[in-house]
């Protein structure tokens, strides 16, 4: 059990295979009790606010969002969420140049909120119904579920597929529950992930520059910490800059949104341990 932070192998099995089908252990809010705030929502609202009843014309070349809109959203988004060094030289000429926005558009389509017909983007009746009834409190849980279950996290990067990082999204959320009260190095999350699932290293090939473990750690940070926890507003990120620009370290801690999104229905292993030890000491006296 120690390898799984006190979770039983049965609990981990349910996490990996039945995350949304085990309400006695884990529950996901279908409507949030608080107004959510997340990088993806800023992008989502940027797209949505540009589409009226007549729709929004897609670019002819790639069928993407128009250049002017991409640049406007990038201007706002980069001030809050992009690294200054990157922002200083990065130019957005098309949707693909702003990958977070591209991913958001794909998720809106997967969720059935956005459709493209005859070269124009339209908001769907499904979107209108949920938005008018519940706003972001009702929309967020749907895009969250789509992101965890249908969108391919490997789409973000050039690492090997490693679908297990996505399959274990609930284990990552559990780690955030364990460590998220204070800023904690993301390497701690990587350590626990590797301790629990050492076989995942076999899915990485490594290179002349890095070992399979180093690649897996970078991939886990990128997909699970940055592009999931932080992008969806469940964790806030602190960057500890190094002189070598490629060797930064990172810390995360949970946001109030995390506790509104997911609830674990079992006793915290630390409490269980304390109960066991106090019961044990009672027996000794």
Would you list the DSSP string of 243-267? SSTT--EEEEEE-HHHHHHEEE-S-
Q: What per-residue confidence (pLDDT) applies to 277?
A: 52
Q: How many residues make up the chain in this entry?
A: 285
**pLDDT for res 268:** 60
Element (H, E) at 190: helix 186-196
User: Sheet of 249-254: strands edge to edge?
Assistant: 184-185, 249-254, 235-240
Q: What is the pLDDT of residue 165?
A: 98
Task: Return per-residue pLDDT of the chain as tens, 285 residues.
Answer: 568 888 999 999 999 999 999 999 999 999 999 999 999 999 999 999 999 999 999 999 889 999 999 999 999 999 999 887 777 788 999 999 999 999 999 999 999 999 999 999 999 999 999 999 999 999 999 999 999 999 999 999 999 999 999 999 999 999 999 999 999 999 999 999 999 999 999 999 878 889 999 999 999 999 999 999 999 999 999 999 876 666 789 999 999 999 999 999 976 655 545 544 554 444 444
Domain 39-151: give its CATH code.
Answer: 1.10.10
Closest CA to 171 of 187, 192, 146, 140: 192
Closest CA to 99 of 70, 136, 75, 123: 70
Q: Which fold has domain 2-25+159-264?
A: Arc Repressor Mutant, subunit A (1.10.10)
Alpha carbon distance 76, 79 (integer Å): 6
**Tell me, what DSSP letter sits at residue 105?**
H
pLDDT of residue 241: 82
Domain boundaries, the chain: 2-25+159-264, 39-151
Contact 57, 119 (CB under 8 A): yes
Confidence (pLDDT) at 282: 45
What pLDDT, on the 0 to 100 scale, is given for residue 84? Answer: 74
pLDDT reported for residue 269: 54
Q: Looking at the DSSP assignment, which residues form a beta bridge with residue 252?
A: 184, 237
Res 154: pLDDT: 96
Q: Is 261:29 a contact under the CB 8 Å cutoff?
A: yes
Sign of the dihedral defined by the CA atoms of residues 211, 216, 222, 226, in that order:
negative
Is there a common fold for 2-25+159-264 and 39-151?
Answer: yes
The 10 Å Cβ neighbour count of residue 142 is: 19
| Listed residue (70, 74, 45, 54) closest to 119, CA to CA | 54
């Amino acid at each position: 059990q120690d390898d799984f932070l006190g979770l039983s192998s049965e609990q981990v099995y349910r996490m990996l295979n039945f995350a949304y089908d085990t309400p006695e252990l884990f529950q996901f809010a279908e409507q949030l009790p608080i107004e959510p705030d997340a990088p993806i929502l800023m992008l989502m609202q940027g797209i949505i606010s540009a589409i009226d009843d007549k729709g929004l014309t897609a670019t002819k070349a790639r069928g993407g969002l128009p250049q002017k809109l991409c640049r406007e959203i990038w201007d706002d988004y980069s001030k809050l969420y992009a690294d200054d060094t990157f922002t200083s030289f990065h130019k957005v000429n098309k949707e693909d140049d702003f990958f977070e926005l591209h991913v958001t558009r794909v998720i809106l389509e997967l969720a059935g909120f956005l459709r493209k017909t005859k070269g124009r983007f339209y908001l769907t009746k499904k979107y209108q119904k949920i938005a008018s009834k519940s706003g972001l409190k009702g929309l967020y849980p749907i895009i969250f579920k789509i992101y965890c279950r249908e969108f391919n996290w490997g789409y973000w990067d050039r690492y090997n597929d490693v679908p297990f990082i996505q399959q274990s999204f609930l284990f990552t959320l559990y780690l955030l529950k364990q460590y998220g009260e204070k800023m904690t190095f993301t390497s701690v999350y990587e350590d626990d992930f590797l301790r629990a699932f050492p076989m995942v290293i076999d899915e990485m090939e490594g290179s002349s520059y890095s070992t399979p473990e180093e690649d897996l750690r970078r991939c886990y940070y990128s997909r699970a910490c940055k592009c999931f926890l932080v992008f969806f507003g469940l964790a806030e990120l602190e960057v500890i800059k190094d002189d070598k620009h490629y060797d930064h370290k990172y810390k995360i801690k949970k946001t109030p949104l995390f506790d509104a999104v997911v609830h674990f229905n079992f006793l915290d292993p630390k409490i269980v341990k304390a109960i066991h030890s106090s019961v044990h000491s009672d027996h000794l006296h």
